[in-house]
Amino acid sequence: MSSSEFYETARALENYLRFCKEIGIEELPAGFAAGGTEIADTERNGTVLLSDRRKSRDSSAVKTLSEIREELGDCTRCRLCETRKSIVFGEGNPKARLVFVGEGPGRDEDIQGRPFVGRAGQLLTKIIRAMKLERKDVYICNVVKCRPPGNRNPQPDEVASCEPFLMKQIESINPEVIVSLGSVATGLMLKLKNFKMGQLRGTFHQYGDSKLMITYHPAALLRNPSLKKPVWEDMKLVMKELGIPVSG
Ligand code: URA
């Protein structure tokens, strides 16, 4: 290793450790490699195990993500179409073992047409990396595909218009684990109206064939950093479920 490669690796390690500290991880994950690339490839974390799982269902009846996107079209099913710049469908591995579901696009997502790219999204990306995965290994989407004006919560009729598309995305991907980020996604996935996130997180729920982990939305972590620790506890359970080595 040349001295510049050594310093680059040391800097990457320093950044990673800083982030671990920031989100409240006090021990290094087992199998930790600088840059987190040791098991962060789609072959090991994504497609291999999944293909066994997918073999057992009749996939001819299930639409592909491209077909679902085509069906969504230039959607005018609810009033959010009047103010949106982009439809933010979702992105990532169509065979992901892990799907993250957020609430709806914010300003940055509306401009870029991609989910979770603003401040909350950057924190989600760090969380995914701390799980020894990359964004391309997982699938990231939202309950509603268009930005609610002023980032207000999506209204029940807006959620209802978009719900069939989220359900089809999940059916198409058939993930082992879904992580529901925040109360809008959680209310929809569990069909609950009045609940406390703190009472639902920290344990798996069942969602069809997938395990569902409820956790706080990254935007809530930005407002209240003390939530980083419980989120990391939830993500460690997800890692264990996916067979990703974790310690601490
Ligand atoms: N918040 C969300 O719920 N989704 C995004 O895509 C961005 C921020």
Q: Give the closest residue to 144 by CA, choosing from 187, 85, 104.
A: 104
**Structure letter (DSSP) for residue 176:** S
Closest atom of ligand 1 to 108 CA is 7
Q: What is the average pLDDT value for the chain, to the nearest integer?
A: 88
| Distance (Å) from CA 220 to ligand 1 centroid | 11
| Distance (Å) from CA 225 to ligand 1 centroid | 18
d(CA 59, CA 47): 16
Three-state SS for 47-96 is HHHHHHHHHCCCHHHCCCHHHHHHHHCCCCCCHHHHCCCCCCCCEECCCC
Probe residue for ligand 1, chosen from 88, 103, 125 as the CB with the greatest number of ligand atoms within 8 Å: 103
d(CA 149, CA 64): 30
What is the model's pLDDT at position 53? 62
What is the model's pLDDT at position 52? 54
What is the model's pLDDT at position 7? 75
Closest atom of ligand 1 to 102 CA is 3
Cβ < 6 Å from ligand 1: which residues?
Answer: 102-106, 109, 115-116, 118, 120-121, 142, 219
Closest atom of ligand 1 to 142 CA is 4
Task: Report the percent of the chain where pLDDT is more than 70.
Answer: 83
Closest atom of ligand 1 to 103 CA is 3
Q: Taken in order 78, 80, 84, 89, is the CA torsion positive or negative? A: negative
CA-nearest residue for atom 7, ligand 1, is: 116
What is the model's pLDDT at position 49? 41
| Distance (Å) from CA 54 to ligand 1 centroid | 28
Probe residue for ligand 1, chosen from 116, 127, 139 as the CB with the greatest number of ligand atoms within 8 Å: 116
Query: Number of helices (H) and strands (E), helices first, in the chain?
Result: 11, 6
| Distance (Å) from CA 145 to ligand 1 centroid | 10
| Distance (Å) from CA 222 to ligand 1 centroid | 13
Q: Give the closest residue to 237 by CA, choosing from 171, 170, 179.
A: 179
d(CA 154, CA 81): 12
- The pair of three-digit structure tokens given for residue 87, joined into one six-digit string: 């439809």
Residue pair 213/179 in contact (Cβ under 8 Å)? The answer is yes
Reported confidence tier of residue 2, pLDDT bands at 50, 70, 90: confident
Q: Give the closest residue to 106 by CA, choosing from 75, 140, 68, 144.
A: 144
Tell me which range, 26-40, 52-66, 148-162, is most confidently predicted by mean pLDDT.
148-162
Cα–Cα–Cα angle for 116, 180, 225, nearest 5°? 65
Closest atom of ligand 1 to 217 CA is 3
| Distance (Å) from CA 115 to ligand 1 centroid | 6
Instruction: List pLDDT tens digits, range 10-55.
Output: 766 776 676 677 676 666 655 444 333 333 344 444 443 444 565 5
